[in-house]
Amino acid sequence: MPEQQRTIWGRANSVNVQKVLWALAELELPYQRIDAGMAFGRTREPDYLAMNPNARIPTLVEGDFVLWESNSIMRYLCLAHGRGTPIYPEPPKRRASVDRWLDWTLSTLQPVDRPVFWALVRTPAAERDMAKIQKDADVAAEVWVIADRQLATRPFVDGDAFTLADIAVGAYARRWLGVEGITRPAQPHLARWLADLGKRAGFAQFVAPPMS
């Protein structure tokens, strides 16, 4: 059966779109991407809302199958097209272990990343409240300590092999270690791992480019 056309809706500077594009690169899957979100608009148009009632990006469309939530999209791509890919391992304990980091990015990491990223990357310098940003960064640093400790004893977030956990946490780590204007505690294991991720083509193409 010929492969169905695959479309990713979402602007390329969105961390959640970047995760999906990186996963597609790891899986070597073809797709087209359509800009949507923020300056590109479209997400509040009826056609888009019919696909994704959250008016958020990314959204995946494959034939008549539509899926939103970036982590769910990454899992689906592995399950449907990954041919047993090691980036989403099958044994239940290994899979649950990877899944826990995907959940962690949504529940714990994303809320502390957002205020720092938005203030330093998407707010004009003259409007920044640097004292507040540093306080937010201190809160974020406490969460990043968890990842730094995890990476102290293993090469990748979930162990010896690269998985979806590295994509989910790595896309946020690029922002955390990439923003300027705050003081951060040294997180050497995090920095070593991020440098390793930088050698992967999907990271280099979709996550490493300048933040906006």
Which residues would be at the binding site for ligand GSH (CB under 6 A)? 14-16, 37-38, 43, 56-58, 69-71, 106
Q: How far is the CB of 125 from ligand GSH (least distance, A)?
A: 22
Instruction: Please say whether the beta carbons of 81 and 24 come within 8 A.
Output: no
**Which residues have CB under 8 Å from 57's CB, separation 6+?**
9, 10, 11, 14, 16, 17, 36, 37, 43
Which of 12, 191 has the CB closer to ligand GSH?
12
Q: How far is the CB of 58 from ligand GSH (least distance, A)?
A: 6
Q: How far is the CB of 13 from ligand GSH (least distance, A)?
A: 9
Q: Which residue is nearest to ligand GSH (CB)?
A: 37
Q: What is the DSSP string of 178-198?
A: H--SS-----HHHHHHHHHHT
Q: At what angle do helices 164-178 and 15-27 cross, to 10 degrees?
A: 140
Which of 10, 82 has the CB closer to ligand GSH?
10
The first and second tokens of residue 182, run together, are: 């705050």
Residue entry with tokens 């479309």:
7
Which of 70, 187 has the CB closer to ligand GSH?
70
- Cα separations in angstroms, 6 against 21, 35, 192: 12, 14, 34
Q: How far is the CB of 2 from ligand GSH (least distance, A)?
A: 28
Q: How far is the CB of 27 from ligand GSH (least distance, A)?
A: 18
Which of 57, 190 has the CB closer to ligand GSH?
57
Q: How far is the CB of 57 from ligand GSH (least distance, A)?
A: 4
Which of 37, 82 has the CB closer to ligand GSH?
37
- Cα separations in angstroms, 171 against 19, 77, 144, 207: 6, 18, 13, 6
- Largest Cα–Cα separation, the chain: 58
Which of 69, 136 has the CB closer to ligand GSH?
69
The first and second tokens of residue 39, run together, are: 């300056």
